[in-house]
Structure 1
Amino acid sequence: MADLNILVTGAAGYIGGSVIAALLSENTQFPTKNLFAAVRTEEQVQSLQSLGVKALQLDLLNEQKVAEAVLQNEIDIVVHTAGSIDARLAAHLILALGKRREATGKDTYHIHSSVTTGYSKEGGWPYGTIKDGDPVYKMEKELNDGFPIRTTNTAVTELAKEQGVTNFIVGVPFVYGTGSGKWKKLSQNIPATVKASITLKAVYKFDQDSKFVAVHISDLAEFYVLMIKKILQGEKLPSGEEGYYFAVAHEVGWWDIAQSLAGALSARGLVTEPQARIWPSDDMAAEALDLPRQFVRLMHTARVTIDYNKRYPLGWEPKWDDQQKLLASMGEEVAATLQHDKGRTTLFDVLKTTN
């Protein structure tokens, strides 16, 4: 197995922190000397360094600082979990990896975290279900409609090709469960709904139900670890225009989630009834969930379907592989929100600034 240095961005976040924890759990294959974590604050640096990881306080918008970090620390693989909307963040990492490849003659790798919302009808995707082997890059490129997630995907793919960097796009679906990272433990939609429900004394759902794809955070972290293992083993994975992967374990319905949350919150006496109501208006939902009105319905009703013909990519074996496990865990989701809530998530902040 190759001895390559790995940088995880967003390492104090929900996904990035869980990826770091998953890598550390297999320290015989991923020694701490090879693990680097990009974070935003000195407090986060100190927290992650206590794990033995080299943490870097790094502004990904600063192209020069990113290049210095990649070159000085001899980074070969970047797992970018710090943002799927702003293409500049990934671009600076890819440019730095391109310089690293040029200086050493060694292959460099960029794993870009996207989101599956970009493949919903509500998000402007006209092609329906994505099937295993579909030319997703070509479909995004031909659509060329300016949707931020898809625009970033194509820009990242093209820049990586130009720089000679091996690039993979990981489509991240709805994520749930308690994270294993040192810093951020919570996902986005379910904790936001829990907090709004406690405030309003009732669980609300939209008047339109939606089935969408989902994954437990522990399974998602293992997906990234599996991809890194295959890179280190020298396996030639489809990359670039053919390098789109979807870490989808199962589908779930939002109405089912809302109803299960209503039961869990009612059992704790945190809402007045064990039934979910319909939001009276999108305005009320946006205010309660602390989201821009233009995104609030999309984030709760967008239908995304990914068909892998009953096979998971890369030989991945998610343990949370059906919606019943998720629905049965709503009590745990409530408890985790009450224990770990630290305010609005980074994604919500980004959405606020794009409104």
Structure 2
Amino acid sequence: MSQNILITGAAGYIGGSVLADFISRPNGPVKPSNINAVVRSEEQAQELSKLGVNVIQLELSNESAVMTAVVSNETNVVDSQVVSGLINGLGRRREMSGKEAYFIHSSVATLFSAEGGWPYGEIKDTDPVLEKEKSIARGHPVRDASILVSELSKALGVTSFIIPVPQVYGRGTGEWRKLSVAIPAAIKSSIKHKMVHKFDKDASPPSVHVSDLAAFYTLLTEKIVQREPVASGEDGYYFVYTHKTHWWDTMQRLAEALYARGLVTAPTVETWSSDEMAAEYLGFPRPFVRAMGTNSPQLVPVKASELGWQPKWDEERFLSSLDDEIQAVLESDPVMNTVSQTLVSGK
């Protein structure tokens, strides 16, 4: 029995890659004709419409419009953004149709680090994660959103899942946005200022290649569509990562790769003189830049592999791919790419 799927942020880096992964599996239980892709702009809608999916142009901050879209399209949601209107719409649809409704929510793994306000140290995704999150004082918008997802979904009879997204890298496979955040920001800053920088504290954030992450979303969605038993609700947290990224080692490898291209003045790494400098150079919000750059959550993934997830990337493959990360950034900026070519050719 086919079910309609709605992907929010379908023109984004992760959402676009998830959509591309769905479409790449024509013999799977998720058919392109059952996919509804939410985008913000007309230009994005035109770009994605050629994929054979139903494209919905929608401003997700408009809760009424979101509820109407979910109810009228009879969709289950793979979400990466606003939650309240989506879950309310699913609850209304379930009440009207009597059919099961599902919601996959993307959170942030940084919240499970000391820098992100997490006081409990190591945690497995088989532990009572929601109970621990609820014990922490409210006020962080991302953590509050995860709690809202679980509580509101339960109240409305919607089956929910929460994926705390780790550091993601690699070229996106969607039609629109191709780059992640952290590593491209470091590359752009290094090229602009001719020097690679690091924080005064090393970090080892959990990381995953975007193709492996997209494959997990697809696997989980296929399990849902086929009505296989899957942990959900209060037990529906899934830690999805394949390796730790040791940040100082990464920055050193990045410095060597950029120096080989003539894009920085030395194959060495300097330390940020302050968090303010890091925020300015990287373009990150000052209140969050240290948490983003020094977090080392002690997450223990269990349930993803139990579902049958088989990721293909590890840390050494990641480190070996840094030159491609540089190339992807250059290709995204024609001016920067022209400067790079000029430096390499010596003209």
- TM-score by length of structure 2 reads 0.93
Deviation string for 1:248-279 (max 9, x for gaps)?
A: 11111111111111011111000011111111
> Would you say 1:57 and 2:53 are equivalent positions?
no
| Partner residue in 2 for 1:185 | 178
Q: Which residue is 1:28 aligned to? A: 27
Q: Which structure 1 residue ranges, 5 or more long, are not aligned? A: 84-88, 343-355
Amino acid at match of 1:279: W
Where 2:110 maps in the other structure, the secondary structure is: helix
Q: Distance between the aligned counterparts of 2:53 and 2:65, measured in 1?
A: 19
CA distance in 1, matches of 2:280, 2:232: 41
Report the equivalent of 1:338: 330
Structure 1 residues 36 and 57, CA gap change in structure 2 (3 angstroms) = same
Measured in 2, the distance between the counterparts of 1:11 and 1:328 equals 29
Contact 2:160-2:233 within 8 A present in 1 as well: yes
In structure 2, what is the equivalent of residue 323 of structure 1?
A: 315
Structure 1 residue 27: deviation in Å? Answer: 2.0
Residue 86 (structure 1) aligns with: none
For the Cα contact (< 8 Å) 2:104–2:161, is it kept in 1? yes
The 3 A distance-change label for structure 1 pair 229 and 159 is: same
Aligned length, in residue pairs: 334
Please, which moves more after superposition, 130-139 or 14-23? 130-139
Which residue number in structure 2 is paired with residue 306 of structure 1? 299
The residue identity in structure 2 corresponding to 1:175 is V
CA distance in 1, matches of 2:32, 2:303: 36
Measured in 1, the distance between the counterparts of 2:129 and 2:122 equals 11
Q: Is the 8 A contact 1:211 1:303 kept in 2?
A: yes
Q: Which residue of 2 is the match for residue 199 of structure 1? A: 192
Q: Which amino acid aligns with 2:78?
A: V
The whole-number CA distance in structure 1 between the counterparts of 2:304 and 2:20 is 26
Give the superposition deviation at 1:28: 2.5
- 4+ residue runs over 6 A deviation: none
The correspondence for 1:166, drawn from 148, 159, 164, is: 159
Q: Distance in 1 between matches of 2:136 and 2:233?
A: 18
1:310-346 per-position Cα deviation (integer Å, ceiling 9, x unaligned): 97352211100x211111111000000111259xxxx
The correspondence of residues 92-241 of structure 1 with structure 2, limited to 5 A, is 92-241=85-234
For residues 68 and 140 of structure 2, the distance between their equivalents in structure 1, rounded to whole angstroms, comes to 31
Q: Name the residue aligned to 1:12.
A: 11
Question: Percentage identity across aligned positions?
Answer: 52
2:161 and 2:289 mapped to 1: Cα distance? 29
RMSD: 1.6
1:256–1:310 CA distance, 2 compared to 1 (3 A): farther
SS at match of 1:245: coil
> CA deviation digits over 1:101-158, x for unaligned, max 9?
1111000100000010110001110001112411000001112342222111111100
Structure 1 contact 8–20 (Cα < 8 Å) conserved: yes
Task: Name 1:252's counterpart in structure 2.
Answer: 245
Per-residue deviation, 1:232: 1.2
Provide the rounded CA distance (Å) in 2 between the counterparts of 1:306 and 1:107.
Answer: 31
The one-letter code sitting in structure 1 at the alignment partner of 2:9 is G
Distance in 2 (CA, whole Å) between partners of 1:318 and 1:72 is 36
What is the CA-CA distance between 1:165 and the residue it aligns to? 0.3
CA distance in 1, matches of 2:5, 2:15: 12
| Structure 1 residue 247 displacement after superposition | 1.0
Please give the alpha-carbon distance, in whole angstroms, between the structure 2 residues aligned to 1:163 and 1:278.
50
2:289 to 292, 296, 301: 296
Corresponding position of 1:242: 235
Shift of residue 11, structure 1, vs aligned partner: 0.4
Give, in whole Å, the separation in 2 of the partners of 1:93 and 1:309.
28
Task: Say if 1:118 and 1:147, in contact at 8 Å, map to a contact too.
Answer: no
Aligned-partner SS, 2:202 = coil
* Alpha-carbon separation, structure 2, partners of 1:133 and 1:51: 37
Other-structure match for 2:39:
39
Of 140-149 and 179-188, the range deviating more from structure 2:
140-149
Q: TM-score, normalized by length of structure 1?
A: 0.91
Give the deviation of 1:63 after TM superposition: 1.8
